[in-house]
Structure 1
Amino acid sequence: MAAPAANLLSPPSQITPNTALQLSQKAPLILSSSPTSSLPWPLSLLFSRETPETWTIHENLLLAALRTGDDASARQILDRMTERFGESNERIIALRGIYEEALAKDDKELAKVLDGYGKVLDTDPTNMAVRKRGIAVMKNLGKTAEAIASLRVLLDSSPTDAEAWAEMSDMYASIGSWGQAIYCLEEVLLLMPNAWSAHAQIATLHYLSAPASVPALAMALRHFARSAELNESYLRGYYGLKMVSQKLLPLLSDTPSTSRRNADADDDVPPPKLQTIKKLEELATSKLAEIVRQYKSGSKKWAAFDEAEVIAARELLNRDDTAER
């Protein structure tokens, strides 16, 4: 029992389908015994096998079961948690909503779930877990404007919610509102300045907002470099660093130095020197080549990388080889 508990207590932040299946297969073992006693309170406390981790394990198992289509196990887990904490518990309401979302067969049924969330919020506007689930459903239904409006309400009440700022940034980016998307991620970085994934994401937004603009590319380069500095094994950071460097080099090489100095005076972030960009591009190339090589060798230390990202890195390196021929 110890091994499954450890996995379900702290599953990886990004669960692959195989990992979700492995976690959900632990449902029969965990459901075969009850962590609570059937004796009346307070005697039940003396014979309970509950621990602080018990219900975290159950919640993660519920999510894994829903992801793999094991609706029967998910229902049993949800019923067990409802019996323990009560139907009016905020977290239980949110988990019940997630269960209903997973079972919804079409947008019509999903809209009913959204209506249910609205009724809960009419009664208790402070239920942030339900508000976030409602925003997720709006997003799935293509109601981006409504989702953004609901996020604004949430952030008015909880302005330090980095997850909400990141979600709003993603929604603005989906409709091409790059300035607002960047602003939201800047709020994330104020709250979490060492979040390398946030640095990579804001770099991506700068790049997408103006892929031929030297100031935008300079900002993208700075944030990609910071993400790689914070995490020396961050493939996405090195990928972006190489890609942006390759964009900047010809742009700056074709610009006379006098014009470049004049432009620097007007830019908030002046572009780095050509030599600096070349060194960053060489560093990114070296790191990507190492990751691709180690991943291909089957080394366990490098097995955690996403295969699709490794393939993309290999293709980026292959383009260099093709260009040199």
Structure 2
Amino acid sequence: MSSSLLHPPSHLPPATALKHSKQAPSILANSPGAIATSTLQSLLSASETAELWTTYENLLLSCLRTGDDESAHQCLGRLVNRFGDDNERIMALKGLLKEANAGDDNATLDVILKEYDQILQENPTNLPISKRRIALLRSRGQIADSVTALISLLDASPTDAEAWSELADMYFSQGLYSQAIFALEEVLVLQPNAWNIHARLGEMLFTAAKTSDTSKQLAEALKRFCRSIELCDNYLRGYYGLKLIAKQLLNEPQKATKQAESGEFSLPDSATLRKLDEAATEKLAEIVRRYSAAEKGWQGYDQAEIAAAQQVLQNETEATVR
């Protein structure tokens, strides 16, 4: 059985999800169909493992991504047999399956939304259902409603890093950069060593600086990208962001000068910025080279990110030739 079935399927490349979906009938045929809900009996059962239930859940999600509803229903049935209909996580998976089957049928989605409302009316602390409701609202374009629901969720569960990250993404999609930055900073309070969040915050700050021409945000973005690659030496997005911002500051030295005069932040001098630019270029070239050569341990990158890195390196080469 593939070890990638034990990882969250939302982080899997589409090709891997498709592979899992194709393997679903075989996996289901060779895995236990039902296990007693009795705690004593489950302890005595040799096939009762946490990995089994993780596999079923992740296989269900991969099947939904590829349209294999039959296998998804089988996975859900086995989870229901083991944990029962009243389990909050199972309730959310059932809702997700209903949403997938509904497709673009707004009438059916309205019914599902009402079901979520009813569940939350009976149990306001059901976080899995709260999150499914928020996801459904957002998918239907009801951003204001989903933001309001997310804020209510965070009032009840302020240490939910996933919810803060989702809120940041919603604010950012609406161009509310200061709110998005604040929400993502809350994620870092909870997960200070999350290198992907540091890079994402750097991206938000970099974008915000373009619209407001704030040098302070550029300085903070540079620091976030540097922290990202400090925590993860091969993180492509961190090096990509560092490359873009270092290049901009080198091409627009007046921004660094203006900020130095304000006394709030001190950006690196030109020599240091050039070193950062060179380091980012070198690392991006290495990542692209080793990914393209299909080297073991270098295949986990997103293809679109690799393409973006190739483009920025090509632009660098063309500029040097000129």
Normalising by structure 1, we get a TM-score of 0.90
Counterpart of 1:214?
215
Counterpart of 1:112?
111
How does 1:9-24 map onto structure 2 within 5 Å? 9-10=6-7, 14-24=11-21
Counterpart of 1:316?
312
Counterpart of 1:294?
290
Counterpart of 1:181?
180
Change (3 A) 1:142 1:251: same
How does 1:167-246 map onto structure 2 within 5 Å? 167-211=166-210, 212-246=213-247
| Post-superposition offset of 1:299 | 1.6
Query: Is the contact between residue 24 and residue 61 of structure 1 (CA under 8 Å) also seen in structure 2?
Result: yes
| Post-superposition offset of 1:153 | 1.1
Aligned positions, number: 317
Q: Secondary structure at the match of 1:34?
A: coil
| Post-superposition offset of 1:279 | 1.1
One-letter amino acid matched to 2:186: E
In structure 2, C-alpha distance between the alignment counterparts of 1:151 and 1:235, rounded to whole Å: 30
Change (3 A) 1:97 1:272: same
| Post-superposition offset of 1:300 | 2.3
Counterpart of 1:57?
55
Q: Secondary structure at the match of 2:267?
A: coil
Larger CA deviation: 296-305 vs 148-157: 296-305
Counterpart of 2:271?
275
| Post-superposition offset of 1:97 | 0.5
In structure 1, C-alpha distance between the alignment counterparts of 2:69 and 2:241, rounded to whole Å: 40
In structure 1, C-alpha distance between the alignment counterparts of 2:17 and 2:255, rounded to whole Å: 51
One-letter amino acid matched to 1:138: L
Change (3 A) 1:107 1:189: farther
Q: Secondary structure at the match of 2:297?
A: helix
CA deviation map 1:212-262 (0-9, x unaligned):
43222111111011111111101110110010011112322x4695x5542
| Post-superposition offset of 1:277 | 1.2
One-letter amino acid matched to 2:270: L
Specify every segment of 5 or more residues in structure 2 that has no aligned partner in the other structure, as ranges: none
In structure 2, C-alpha distance between the alignment counterparts of 1:256 and 1:127, rounded to whole Å: 49
Larger CA deviation: 224-233 vs 210-219: 210-219
In structure 2, C-alpha distance between the alignment counterparts of 1:170 and 1:176, rounded to whole Å: 10
Counterpart of 1:151?
150
Larger CA deviation: 312-321 vs 19-28: 19-28
Normalising by structure 2, we get a TM-score of 0.91
Larger CA deviation: 89-98 vs 52-61: 52-61
Query: Is the contact between residue 35 and residue 49 of structure 1 (CA under 8 Å) also seen in structure 2?
Result: no
In structure 1, C-alpha distance between the alignment counterparts of 2:165 and 2:299, rounded to whole Å: 28
Change (3 A) 1:282 1:149: same
In structure 2, C-alpha distance between the alignment counterparts of 1:40 and 1:173, rounded to whole Å: 47
| Post-superposition offset of 1:124 | 0.7
Query: Is the contact between residue 65 and residue 74 of structure 1 (CA under 8 Å) also seen in structure 2?
Result: yes
Deviating above 3 A after TM superposition, structure 1's stretches of 4 or more consecutive aligned residues are 10-13, 35-48, 254-257
Specify every segment of 5 or more residues in structure 1 that has no aligned partner in the other structure, as ranges: none
| Post-superposition offset of 1:322 | 1.6
CA deviation map 1:157-180 (0-9, x unaligned):
111111000000001111111111
CA deviation map 1:14-70 (0-9, x unaligned):
111111122123322332242545799966764563223221111111111111111
Counterpart of 2:28?
31
Aligned-residue RMSD, C-alpha:
2.2
One-letter amino acid matched to 1:9: L
In structure 2, C-alpha distance between the alignment counterparts of 1:153 and 1:256, rounded to whole Å: 40
Counterpart of 1:69?
67
In structure 2, C-alpha distance between the alignment counterparts of 1:39 and 1:144, rounded to whole Å: 40
Change (3 A) 1:214 1:83: same
Counterpart of 2:139?
140
Does residue 85 of the first structure (1) align with residue 83 of the second (2)?
yes
Q: Secondary structure at the match of 1:25?
A: helix
